[in-house]
Amino acid sequence: MTDLTRLTAAETATVVASGEVSAVEVAQAHLDRIGAVDDRVHAFLHVDSDGALAQAAAVDSARAAGEQLSPLAGVPLALKDVMTQKGIPTTCGSRILEGWRPPYDATVTARLKAAGVVILGKTNMDEFAMGSSTEHSAYGATHNPWDLDRIPGGSGGGSAAAVAAFEAPLAIGTDTGGSIRQPAAVTGTVGVKPTYGGVSRYGLVALASSLDQAGPCARTVLDAALLHATIAGHDPLDSTSLDQPVPDVVAAALRADVKGLKVGIVKELGGEGYQAGVRQRFDEAVALLTELGADVVEVSAPSFPYALAAYYVILPSECSSNLAKFDGMRFGLRVGEDDGDPSVEQVMARTRAAGFGAEATRRIMLGTYALSAGYYDAYYGQAQKVRTLVQRDFAAAFEKVDVLISPTAPTTAFRLGEKLDDPLAMYLNDVATIPVNLAGTPGMSVPVGLAPEDGLPVGLQVMAPAMADDRLYNVGAALERALLDRWGHPILEEAPAL
């Protein structure tokens, strides 16, 4: 019998819809896989075996009754632990939410359930999505399935690792500065940050409200497109949701034709600081796009080098505001109330000291400082001006080209612990991904092979104008198909560490 964990999401949906395999069998196969490998990967914080099997049984019942199934009915999925799921532990990788079970579903979660997608459990992440390595989780680091001594990226390393380890064919991530795309790059998977407002943020526990965006993680571009189409669309519960038609990302992934497309290489996202093997695979992919008929040119975005600094003012500022609600009074952790006769303020202080990790504390303090009287204009105000310049650079570039490309991350996966004591070095992992979040435009990371010096995955980033997400899928699928024809596709093989 075929190993059901090796099927793509599209293949899984097909065999379930035909009755060749039951959704329960598919779910059980993935639960068994989690049981076999997750002690080494630690992609999951909570596995909902009973819930997943019940969801799968409902799909089988619907098929048996002759109901029309959705395109992803019966396909298992791993859900990043920053999305609420009714009755299921949701921690955001933080002690301060330990034991919290939300009374409601996020809109993304609700749409997945309505589509018959089988939610296997919640995946590990950097605390409140603050990090690039998933080492800042209060519940231990996730390991990269390609090399268990290396990071799987962050903050959504759990989602990317679950997909790369064949524990789930699909996952949901969230991307504030690269937290879907950078993990995808270093785990050899596909990760997409949709247009800001294209996917509802209702029920996504906020880090930085003007930057956060949920999106798909998958092993193929078509699978990512099917998931994107399932979760996207206007939501009246989210005031930032765009009331516009969703681009036909599935048709774009199936088209996979870049002939005549104008592709811009971002001059400022490359060169010094980028690993030689990353550059080599990127350059080979560029040559391949040219062979496929794309018109490739260099484009300058002069404000992009300042995006990183602006982002690390804007994000902590919004984070310090959003995380103020975690005070031990209403939900989650509460510390110190039995210690004498403490005041409310003392309980709050003790809870926050015990509940927030070092990176969360660092960013809350930075943001509070940047927003304080006398510093707001000097820091937050100036950062927002840089953000405007980045948006203008994107607008100018897209007058000349259809899409922009760059390496997704400057290096392959680094070793666990290597950058924990150097926050600035850690922050530089997002240097290529942050501009997209500041501008609100969509971006995708697609695997383009393995770096020759270490045999680890390399990702290429595709960027498109707002609400032109379909262009990402067209370019990503064309590259994927060409690479498969030429070398075989590294992400469809067993990650060597497992």
Joined tokens for residue 278: 């990353």
Measuring CA to CA, which residue among 204, 43, 214, 207 is closest to residue 139?
43
What's the CA gap between 430 and 136, in Å, rounded?
A: 16
Token couple for 215: 């999106």
Catalytic residue among 80, 122, 193, 419: 80
| 179 given a catalytic annotation | yes
Give the DSSP H or E segment for 29.
Answer: helix 23-41
Contact 100, 93 (CB under 8 A): no
C-alpha 489/C-alpha 475 separation (Å) is 16
Q: Positive or negative CA dihedral for 212, 215, 218, 221?
A: negative
Instruction: Tell me the DSSP string of 85-147.
Output: -TTS---TT-GGGTT---SS--HHHHHHHHTT-EEEEEE--SGGG--SSS-S-TT----BTTB
Q: Mind giving me the DSSP string for 308-329?
A: HHHHHHHHHHHHHHHGGG-SSS
Residues 6+ positions from 317 with CB-CB distance below 8 Å: 367, 370, 371, 379, 380, 383
Tokens encoding 463: 């960027």
Closest CA to 255 of 481, 474, 472, 446: 474
155 part of the active site: yes
CB 214 within 8 Å of CB 204: yes
Structure tokens given for 302: 């002069």
SS3 490: helix
Distance CA 279, CA 303 (A): 22
- Name the catalytic one among 132, 179, 200, 241: 179
| Angstrom distance (rounded) from CA 59 to CA 16 | 9
Query: Which residues are tagged catalytic?
Result: 80, 155, 179
